[in-house]
Amino acid sequence: MNTLTTYRSCRVLCLMLFACCTGIAAAPLDEPLKPVPDMPRQDPERVELGRRLFHDPRLSVNNSLSCASCHQLDKNGADSRALSLGFDGLPVAVNTPTVFNASLNFRQFWDGRVETLEEQSNVVITSPHEMGNDWNTVVQRIAGDPDYQRSFGAAYPDAVTKANIQNALTSFERTLLTPGSRFDQYLQGNTDILTLDEKYGYQRFKDYGCIACHQGVNIGGNMYQKFGVFGDYIADRGHPTEADQGRFNVTADEADRAVFKVPSLRNVALTAPYFHDGSAPTLERAVDVMFQYQLGRMPSEEDKALIIEFLKTLTGHWEGQP
């Protein structure tokens, strides 16, 4: 080792020791993916109202179903069934996506038919297949509860209204962010927190082109894509349904047939089953389908295993807990 190399090595070591001793944080990495942002400021009274409403089955027509019945917060904000059951006990048309980080999506629902969480709550509550209710009934039920009446009166000047119920629900939903994943900590400069295999997996994720669709702060949820670029997944699966038409049902544009909102990959290791139809029971199967039908090639078993190791680093925290 020459004198210059020795000097450079010693200088790097000294800088690292200085940073550790002085508490200087490592610089964030310049990567195309970004960490979950800080939670937006919310009125705590409205958030608590929203939490109660989220778990209240009186939002459904027959008092059988709450938001939490399908978006199970103790099961990663999703449903372990391929298709959730509506108020009538029958399966709904598409798989229930996780409510965690939903506020970071550019649109809501698999077919992207609404932009905001407020619009999403309206569709679900009045859907004849989900909660089956109407707003007059919902407002009457909530306003008729003395505890709700007092809490809404304290939080809103006009107390219980449709708009205020929606605002309370979405105020709570906007707190359902999951920061602190090991990958986010890596992006923030703690490069030692990932194993070498996990780092290789992230590199393969980029090299194979997964990042072309699963991008942005939510690692998805910010664009549409056809399901089946290199093959017809729906035809191969069999038994096509109206829901398989995706955005075509919204726009009637032939170019939108089988086009869906790209799902977020945050917490993806914990939100099986996958896809709009819940047809992939495991993460391994979902990765296989993505390679075959979206990328048109299959990875080596080693590369597939590395990508799955990376995907497991996307599990975050909610209310300080994994």
181 Cβ contact list (under 8 Å, min separation 6): 36, 266, 313, 314, 315, 316, 317
Q: From CA 11, how far away is CA 20, in angstroms rounded?
A: 14
Taking CA atoms, 167 is separated from 57, 60, 148, 259, 270, in Å, by: 18, 18, 14, 30, 28
Query: Is 130 a residue of the active site?
Result: yes
Structure-block tokens of residue 82: 């391929």
Q: From CA 185, how far away is CA 44, in angstroms rounded?
A: 27
Q: From CA 45, how far away is CA 147, in angstroms rounded?
A: 13
Residue recorded with tokens 């048309």? 93
Q: Which of 31, 45, 130, 254 is catalytic?
A: 130
CB atoms within 10 A of CB 319: 8
Q: From CA 276, how far away is CA 214, in angstroms rounded?
A: 16
In degrees, to the nearest 5, what angle opens at C-alpha 117 toward C-alphas 290 and 47?
A: 120
Phi, then psi, of 15 in degrees rounded to 5? -65, -40
Structure-block tokens of residue 23: 């508490």
Q: From CA 303, how far away is CA 311, in angstroms rounded?
A: 12
Q: Which helix (H) or strand (E) holds 85?
A: none
Phi, then psi, of 175 in degrees rounded to 5? -90, -5
Q: From CA 80, how far away is CA 20, in angstroms rounded?
A: 43
Q: From CA 131, how far away is CA 16, in angstroms rounded?
A: 57
Q: Which residues are catalytic?
A: 130
